[in-house]
Amino acid sequence: MLNYDFNWSVVTTNLDRLLAGLGTTLEIAVITIVLSMILAVPVASARMSEIDVIRWIAQIYIEIFRCTPLLVQLFWIFYALPALTGVTLPGFASAIIALTLNLTAFMAEAYRSGFQSVPVEQIEAGKMLRLTSFQRLRYIILPQALRQQVPVILSLNISLFKDTALVSTIAVADLMFITNTISAQSYRALEVFTAAAIIYFVIAFPVSLITSYLERRMQSGQKVPGRRKLRALSEASVVAAK
């Protein structure tokens, strides 16, 4: 190891390829996060449904994707699903589907925890104001649940960003796939994989700092930015209901 001759030129000469791979990684991550944050709302609502069948279906879906490895899910959608349906999906689409289904399951549980933490009095006030179930979810439950679960949501998103490296196994040209290719071509695995690790760190570390900051504020009882408006709206609802 001490006699290893580092040659970082392999990184600088291939920096454009690494950045192109990073672009694909970020594209997959952003699409997956947006879709999951939207789809997790009805899944979490179904998980709390008073109708047994709906609640069981949501719970089965969540447990399947939480209790099986993401790599297996990725392979199943890319290799097994076409064998069952006869429809061949490109690697990029398979990656989006697998990652979205996986993250939605975890996000739905985070949402459910947030939904159940909303005071019952506020929900009852919404009913007295004759708000529909959708309006109560939109104006009372969802805003407070999301703000309370921000640290958890950010942590899940960081994990998802790192897990995108798995899509290289189905030949999606993300950062890890490009890194593997350059390593095989140059025989400079140490330099190339170190550069890839630094790129992942530079993207994920600031989000991790934000997550830690929000967790400290919430644990110390300080107000999370934007929470004052929600509290005022909730109090107004209660007063109006009376």
Each residue's pLDDT tens digit, 144-194: 777 777 888 888 999 999 999 999 999 899 999 999 999 999 999 999 999
Percent of the chain with pLDDT strictly greater than 90: 56
**Model confidence at 231: pLDDT above 60:** no
**Model confidence at 70: pLDDT above 50:** yes
- CB-based contact 146:153 (threshold 8 Å): yes
Q: How far apart are CA 128 and CA 163, in angstroms?
A: 45
Q: How far apart are CA 142 and CA 94, in angstroms?
A: 30
Q: pLDDT confidence of 218, banded at 50, 70, 90?
A: low
Tell me the average pLDDT of the chain. 85
Q: How far apart are CA 115 and CA 146, in angstroms?
A: 9
* pLDDT mean over 30-59: 93
Other Cβ atoms closer than 10 A to 230: 17
**Model confidence at 241: pLDDT above 60:** no
pTM, 2 dp: 0.82
